[in-house]
Amino acid sequence: MTEQVPAGRPTLEAVAARAGVSRATASRVVNGGDGVRAHLVDKVRAAVLDLGYVPNHAARTLVTRRTGAVAVIIAEPEIRIFSDPFFSRQIRGISKELTAHDTQLVLLLVEHRGDYGRIERYLAGGHVDGALAFSLHTDDPLPAITRRIGMPTVYGGRPGWTGQADGAAPYGPLSYVDADNRGGAREAVRYLVSRGRRQIAHIAGPPDQTSATDRLDGYRDVLVDADPALIAEGDFTPAGGARAMAELLERCPDLDAVFAANDLMATGALGVLRERGRSVPGDVALVGFDDAELVAESAVPPLTTVRQDIEGMGRLMVRLLLRSLDPAQESHRVPGSVITPTSLVVRGSA
């Protein structure tokens, strides 16, 4: 077997010669196979580093049917990805775990739904072994796409479809990692009740995301008879939180607590409360969700919030995906889903 190698690029033969092993042994080490004695593995690896050898990827893919890369797809416009610390933290967890498995992270942005045609072509082109996708909205076309092209995929957050509250149908079982959004919301609202608050409002996230609807459900679990006027909708941004807070004060001037479905909306609400001369937590107690980096702790006052282990969830998504790609685990082709616990972090705002 002869490799086509550009002039000057070191060959596997050169690696084998330098390491003093056979080409077959060098090949086995380079392609991650077992059965080579440890001191020979070390010699081959040293030779690879010395020569700057890069495996012929086409050949390697033929043997292992792997690209060594995983796509990360975030179903949000770039402007939200870079302004909400949730995303960078999730990517950090994913990146660390992929690096630990010597797998390349390939980030694909979805600015508009129209971008999915191009993304499908890329995914179908055999450039990645699997995909991680998060922040999907209701009826997002991605699950249908990944199923059509047979791309192993793990979702961050439970995907939701209109009229399919369990998120299972219409595409068969999906694998996802989610926080216990409903349980976390219940804990936040119960805490406000336990502090003697009686008019507890909710700033909800966008109704086309399960993280938002689950947190709203948790609020309603505790406040079964809550006045609908106490619920306003934001869009997970500070501006959306500010708008919702202004609406709530208009409709329910005697509210004494607010549970916001994320920390960014809580900071927007905080600004409006300050402008209107309402003290926090004196007049109005405020609780957020996420324990967002550089947001929750640095707010004035610091936010009481529901912490989810965002980085850990990213790592877990990678582990589930890689397990499903492991040929030794054929029986675990659909790796199942995991709900991770949340915890209330009490700070100054409530």
Interface residues with a second copy (CB under 8 A) are 6, 8-9, 52, 54-55, 57-58, 61, 67-69, 78-79, 81-83, 85, 87-88, 91-92, 95, 99, 102-109, 111, 115, 117-122, 124-127, 148-150, 294
Packing angle of the helix pair 12-19, 38-51 (nearest 10 deg): 130
SS3 294: coil
Structure tokens at 299: 């707010």
Query: Shortest gap between Cβ of 242 and a second copy (angstroms)?
Result: 15
Minimum separation from the CB atom of position 57 to a second copy (A): 3
Q: How far is the CB of 92 from a second copy (least distance, A)?
A: 6
* Amino acid type, 288: G
Q: Which of 160/238 has CB closer to a second copy?
A: 238
The rounded distance, in Å, linking the Cα atoms of 343 and 192 is: 15
Nearer to a second copy, 91 or 248 (CB): 91
Residue 37 neighbours by CB under 8 Å, 6+ apart = none
Output 104 or 343, the one with its CB closest to a second copy: 104
Structure tokens at 120: 């499908």
Minimum CB separation of residue 181 from a second copy in Å reads: 23
CB atoms within 10 A of CB 41: 16
Query: With contact defined as beta carbons under 8 Å apart, do 136 and 317 qualify?
Result: no
| Residue 314 to residue 98: CA distance in whole angstroms | 10
Residue with Cβ nearer a second copy (37 or 127): 127
Kindly state the tokens that stand for 264.
Answer: 């960014």
Distance of closest approach, residue 76 Cβ to a second copy, in angstroms: 12
- Minimum CB distance to a second copy smaller for 87 or for 134: 87
What is each CA distance from 301 to 135, 262, 286, 350, in whole angstroms? 29, 16, 10, 9
Residue 297: CB minimum distance to a second copy, A: 15
User: CB of residue 206 vs a second copy: minimum separation in angstroms?
Assistant: 21
State in angstroms the smallest separation of the CB of 22 from a second copy. 23
Of 145 and 230, nearer to a second copy (C-beta) is 145
The answer to whether 207 and 235 are in contact (CB under 8 A) is no
> What's the full length of the chain, in residues?
350
Question: Given the complex with a second copy, which of 68 and 183 has the nearer CB atom?
Answer: 68
Specify the residue, 198 or 333, whose C-beta has the smaller distance to a second copy.
333
For 161, other C-beta atoms within 10 Å of its C-beta total 18
Report the C-alpha gap between 343 and 188 in whole angstroms.
Answer: 9
Query: How big is the CA angle at 173 (ends 176 and 81), to the nearest 5 degrees?
Result: 30
